[in-house]
Amino acid sequence: MPEPVRALPRTRAALLPSVLVSGLLLGVPGEGPASGGGGSSWAATGRGGAVATVDATASGTAVEVLRQGGNAVDAAVAAAAMLGVTEPYVGALGGGGFFLYYDPRTREVHTVDGRETAPAAMRADSFTDPSTGKPIPLEEAVTSGLSVGVPGTLRQWDLVLRRHGTRPLSALLRPSITVAERGFPVDQEFHDQTALNADRFADFSSSRDLFLPGGEPPKVGTVFRNPGLADTYRRIARQGIGWFYDGDLADEIVRTVQRPPVVEGSTRKVRAGLMTASDLASYRALPREPVHTRYRGLDVYGMAPPSSGGSTVGEALNILERLPVPSGDHVQALHSYLEASKLAYADRDRYVADVPGVPLKELLSDGFAGERACLVSPTSALKPPVAAGSPDGQYAGCAAASGAGRPLAHEGPQTTNLVVADRWGGVAVYTLTIEQFGGSAITVPGRGFLLNNELTDFSLAPKSGDPNAAGPGKRPRSSMAPTLLLRDGRPFLALGSPGGSTIITTVLQILLNRLDLRMDLPSAVAAPRATQRNTPATLAEQSFVDAHGPALTARGQTLELFPGPPPEIGAATALEFLGDGLVQAVAEPVRRHGGTALTVRD
């Protein structure tokens, strides 16, 4: 059980000196900490490697791996493991994600799919109440064993380390074991995320005992400890990932999913899950060919299905490239961005999911982009939901598709993204998640980690022909979009964000800001955001409405405030490669109370 004790400084950076000791915790040979360093602010520029995450301790852990001779993959895994300790409501062993890596030796981009899978017993109607024939309420679906997908995180770490890493997982887990045991100071973000889930956590004995000490969210400045997770990491380091997928822990996970530890007297209706031991044992992380397109002379790489991130970002960029260059006109550029997003999301929802035959080549073709772009007017807005296009290879002019667009499916808004570059030019972009803040709200008893609720990313009430209907062994569609841009075969920009289906628009808008509106990277990340996902209204942050609302409304755009909580879109991290070994790392300055960017040397 965590032990909130004495008050400490309000930043987790206060804990860094106990973690970042030269080689002592990592157990790897190295040269010791380099002099200097990029500081612990939200933007840093330097050499020798760079990191940006949402959390100071995770960023510091990754930088120390780089200092000790590890590469970008090693550092990314170590940072992700630390986020499982300090950001347990957004990324954990009980979830999954997508990993992109640029190998400087071969100049190739690799991607690994660690997305959760549906159990073998899952069917398209598994979220239908048999007594009513209607979809179960969303609140019942998200807080249930039924929503828990087979976790992919550990298999993914194992695969990327074996293929591209230089350090064993056992060594990379050591800093996280130490922090889980000693604890970290609770900051406002951790407190707020706990409070957001307090009602759900209170209904499960394992989650209540861990995250609500004394029956309340831990107070800011107290120390939060997670000895159960420390023991889990320690046993994984000693026994390997087989303990999770084939051993005793697998049995504990299945038991938790099938019989959630609901507190006696709780009135919450919690549905049992379908996962079995064979589902866990058969899970595999999958190497996938990255999605590729070009924009303004740059090569853009992203994730293939079951993520829709790579194809939707790529299609929207292709559409934008066929519209007039804005020449510094922010309003025109933003109008074009919103229109391109509507069209790309319509095609995403119609064609992209974990199904055979996704027409990626045609979705990213010049002909299809031209056919879609000619629907965009510079002075008026398409009325969403717009219909999907026809990526059939027959492109002759401006062909508006018939039929109505699909409504936006539910997709939990919270995830986390990290970016790492090493001294050799390797780059990792890693987006990981347990779905929404707190996932399913169900903690594996005594193990210190929450289970995901990713299966709610399937269409809960699928229509005929819906590619995102649930099915046995299927991976739910995701919007995660770890993205890498190359200039002349070398890394130029790397970025990603959390935010559910707003991930795609966050990545798009940062690219628009940096490449078309010529903002520097810190400004491109910090700028006010809006998200248009083929919905009747564009949801926007207050600062975006204040700055651009009247001018965009005059072009026919409908803007409403993003509802939250929190009322902000995304929490991006990004890198820019400035030449001569110089890298700029950028995290959010304000969203989610800010992130931390570090470099090995100033």
Helices 56-67 & 72-86 angle (0-180, nearest 10): 150
Please give the Cα distance from 137 to 125 (Å, whole number): 14
> What are the DSSP calls for 238-295, one per residue?
HH-THHHHTSHHHHHHHHHHHS--BPTT-----PPP---HHHHHT---EEEPPEEEEE
Q: Give the three-state DSSP class for 441.
A: coil
Distance of CA 530 to the CA centre of its chain: 18
Active-site positions read 415
Compute how many other C-beta atoms are within 10 angstroms of the C-beta atom of residue 455: 31
Q: Are 103 and 61 in contact (CB under 8 A)?
A: no
Number of alpha carbons in the 13 Å side-chain half-sphere of residue 536: 1
Q: What is the DSSP letter of 568?
A: S
The DSSP secondary structure of 582-596, one letter per residue, reads EEEEE--SSGGG--E
CB 352 within 8 A of CB 345: no
> Under DSSP, is residue 415 helix (H, G, I), strand (E, B) or coil?
coil
Phi, psi of 141 (to 5 degrees): -70, -45
Nearest alpha carbon to residue 420 among 1, 121, 125, 83: 83
Residue at 332: amino acid letter: Q
Radius of gyration (C-alpha) of the chain in whole angstroms: 23
Pair 145, 136: CB distance under 8 Å: no
Rounded to a whole number of angstroms, the distance between the first and last alpha carbons of the chain is 40
Tokens representing residue 421 in the block:
């570059």
Residue 184, burial from CB neighbour count under 10 angstroms (0-12, 13-18, 19+): buried
Asked if the peptide bond before residue 385 counts as cis, ω within 30 degrees of 0, the response is yes
Compute the C-alpha angle 300/306/312, nearest 5°. 40
Query: From CA 494, how far away is CA 76, in angstroms rounded?
Result: 13
Query: CA-CA distance, 342 to 381, in Å (whole number)?
Result: 10
DSSP assigned state of 46 = E
Nearest 10 degrees: Cα torsion 251, 257, 263, 269: -160
Give a three-class secondary structure readout of 352-409: CCCCCCCCHHHHCCHHHHHHHHCCCCCCCCCCCCCCCCCCCCCCCCCCCCCCCCCCCC
Question: DSSP letter string over 196-242?
Answer: HHHHHHTTBHHHHHHH-GGGSPPPTTSEE--HHHHHHHHHHHHH-TH
Query: CA separation (Å) from 507 to 373, 495, 503, 570?
Result: 20, 7, 6, 9
